[in-house]
């Protein structure tokens, strides 16, 4: 069947929150003395912006089809990703049928193997893939979740990531995931402070709330184990990304040693079916958390989730708003989702990718009805008032 073809692809960059949610100004819980692999250097301990967590900014990929339809996606990647999209990946997209998602993905991945495989290149590939899914939805006038098999439930439940799980529970969320504040370099005192905060949050959030700690790659296996053992008495549901993502062996060892009932989760900085195959086969985690904007896009996430399913693992994507929601509602092994509390004090629900997207749905009472996703593509619009900059026009 003759399909419309892709007639244009453009890559733009944006600053100030949105898809690059770390790119915040002023006081914000997301940059309040959070433990990182850089915390061993006192000068980079107080703020993640100090070591450059917000250097990239947002990448916006816009695609157009011969029938006049348009699609777009946002992810993290900024100028370097814009260069990769315009100067390298565009050749595999221009002139292709809007349905050629598999071939385009394979060509983008195969052609970048000599400098790609993970990280920034996969962010760029993810942005193109998500924009093409949005375009296909626009051509077909169909929501993405219907194009990938349809929803398996009527509503999605959420936990909240942020500094105030106690407030999140009152807003209807299943519970909250706290950022860990102190890493191994801050010694016994830091460990005690980490456990004291968890104890306070348990007291404030009540006995049934989920509580988890997001460790953002900051620990070693010994510290992670001591944290998990101390946290077990406060009912820690999971310990997230405690080790650097390349330490598959550490994750394997840690998972076997964790107290009963404490789950190990990771994957937001992992990419592709091969990276997640490693995590699954080596028994590195109980819940895999790919970011659909970083792991290779929706096309790759569908392959990752099949691997996870065959290993009895849950896939609960990292953040990413509508790009995750359209996926999660279609999979039994994605029974709940993450919501990033982007209000600076984590005290109210605001759209995760504000101020970049219009019509972005947010959970009400910790729940999102699938009917809110019933619009073509991913169902969101790029705010036309944004100061889009195209650094590498072709
Ligand atoms: Mg995380």
Closest CA to 378 of 75, 88, 20: 75
Q: What residues contact 260, with CB distance under 8 A and at least 6 apart?
A: none
Dist CA 242 CA 284 (whole Å): 11
- From first to last of the 394 residues of the chain, give the pLDDT tens digit: 899 999 999 999 999 888 988 888 888 999 899 999 999 999 999 999 999 999 999 999 999 999 999 999 999 999 999 999 999 999 999 999 999 999 999 999 999 999 999 999 999 999 999 999 999 999 999 999 999 999 999 999 999 999 999 999 999 999 999 999 999 999 999 999 999 999 999 999 999 999 999 999 999 999 999 999 999 999 999 999 999 999 999 999 999 999 999 999 999 999 999 999 999 999 999 999 999 999 999 999 999 999 999 999 999 999 999 999 999 999 999 999 999 999 999 999 999 999 999 999 999 999 999 999 999 999 999 999 999 999 999 9
Q: What residues contact 61, with CB distance under 8 A and at least 6 apart?
A: 9, 10, 11, 12, 72, 73, 74, 75, 85, 127, 128, 130, 131
Helix axes 221-232, 187-205, angle to 10 degrees: 30
Distance 268 CA to ligand 1 centre (A): 6
pLDDT at 184: 98
pLDDT at 26: 82
Distance 248 CA to ligand 1 centre (A): 17
Distance 375 CA to ligand 1 centre (A): 29
Distance 64 CA to ligand 1 centre (A): 33
- Determine which one of 318, 326, 332, 354 is catalytic: 318
Dist CA 178 CA 211 (whole Å): 8
pLDDT at 217: 98
> Which residue numbers belong to the known binding site for substrate?
22, 48, 338
Distance 4 CA to ligand 1 centre (A): 39
Residue 192's φ and ψ, nearest 5 degrees, are -65, -40
Do residues 338 and 318 lie in contact, with contact meaning Cβ atoms separated by under 8 Å? yes
Distance 241 CA to ligand 1 centre (A): 6
| Surrounding residues of ion ligand 1, Cβ less than 5 A | 214, 268
Looking at the chain, the domain(s) classified CATH 3.30.390.10 span 6-20+56-141
Cis previous bond, 392, omega within 30:
no
Looking at the chain, the domain(s) classified CATH 3.20.20.120 span 147-375
Q: Assess whether 332 carries a catalytic annotation.
A: no
Tokens for 53, please give them. 């967590």
Of the CATH numbers 3.30.465.10, 3.30.390.10, 3.20.20.70, 3.40.47.10, which one belongs to the domain with range 6-20+56-141?
A: 3.30.390.10
> Which residue numbers belong to the known binding site?
22, 48, 214, 240, 268, 338
Dist CA 80 CA 334 (whole Å): 32
Closest CA to 144 of 129, 159, 156, 157: 129
Distance 30 CA to ligand 1 centre (A): 11
What fold does the segment set 147-375 form as a domain? TIM Barrel (3.20.20)
């Amino acid at each position: 069947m003759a399909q419309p073809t892709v007639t244009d692809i453009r890559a733009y960059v944006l600053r100030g929150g949105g898809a690059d949610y770390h790119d915040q100004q002023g006081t914000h819980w997301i940059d309040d003395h959070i433990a990182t692999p850089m915390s061993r250097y006192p000068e980079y301990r107080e703020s993640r912006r100090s070591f450059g967590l917000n250097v990239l900014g947002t990448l916006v990929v816009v695609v157009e089809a011969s029938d006049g339809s348009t699609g777009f996606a946002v992810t993290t990647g900024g100028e370097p990703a814009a260069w990769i999209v315009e100067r390298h990946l565009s050749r595999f997209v221009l002139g292709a049928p809007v349905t050629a998602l598999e071939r385009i993905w394979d060509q983008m991945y195969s052609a970048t193997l000599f400098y790609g495989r993970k990280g920034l290149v996969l962010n760029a590939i993810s942005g193109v893939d998500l924009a093409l899914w949005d375009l296909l939805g626009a051509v077909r006038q169909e929501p993405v979740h219907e194009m990938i098999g349809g929803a398996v439930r009527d509503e999605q439940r959420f936990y909240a990531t942020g500094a105030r799980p106690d407030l999140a529970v009152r807003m209807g969320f299943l519970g909250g995931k706290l950022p860990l504040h102190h890493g191994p370099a801050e010694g016994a005192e830091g460990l005690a402070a980490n456990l004291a905060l968890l104890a306070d949050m348990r007291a404030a959030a009540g006995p049934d709330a989920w509580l988890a700690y997001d460790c953002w790659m900051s620990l070693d296996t010994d510290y992670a184990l001591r944290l998990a053992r101390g946290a077990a008495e406060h009912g820690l549901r999971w310990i997230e990304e405690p080790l650097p993502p390349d330490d598959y062996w550490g994750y394997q060892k840690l998972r076997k040693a964790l107290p009963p009932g404490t789950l190990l989760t990771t994957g937001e900085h992992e990419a592709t079916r091969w990276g997640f195959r490693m995590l699954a086969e080596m028994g590195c985690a109980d819940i895999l958390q790919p970011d659909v904007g970083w792991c290779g896009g929706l096309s790759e996430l569908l392959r990752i989730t099949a691997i996870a399913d065959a290993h009895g693992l849950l896939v609960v994507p990292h953040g990413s708003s509508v790009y995750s929601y359209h996926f999660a509602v279609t999979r039994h092994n994605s029974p709940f989702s993450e919501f990033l509390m982007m209000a600076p004090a984590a005290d109210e629900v605001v759209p995760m990718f504000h101020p970049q997207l219009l019509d972005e749905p947010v959970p009400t009472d910790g729940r999102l009805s699938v009917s809110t996703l019933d619009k073509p593509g991913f169902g969101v619009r790029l705010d036309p008032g944004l100061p889009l900059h195209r650094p590498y026009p072709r």
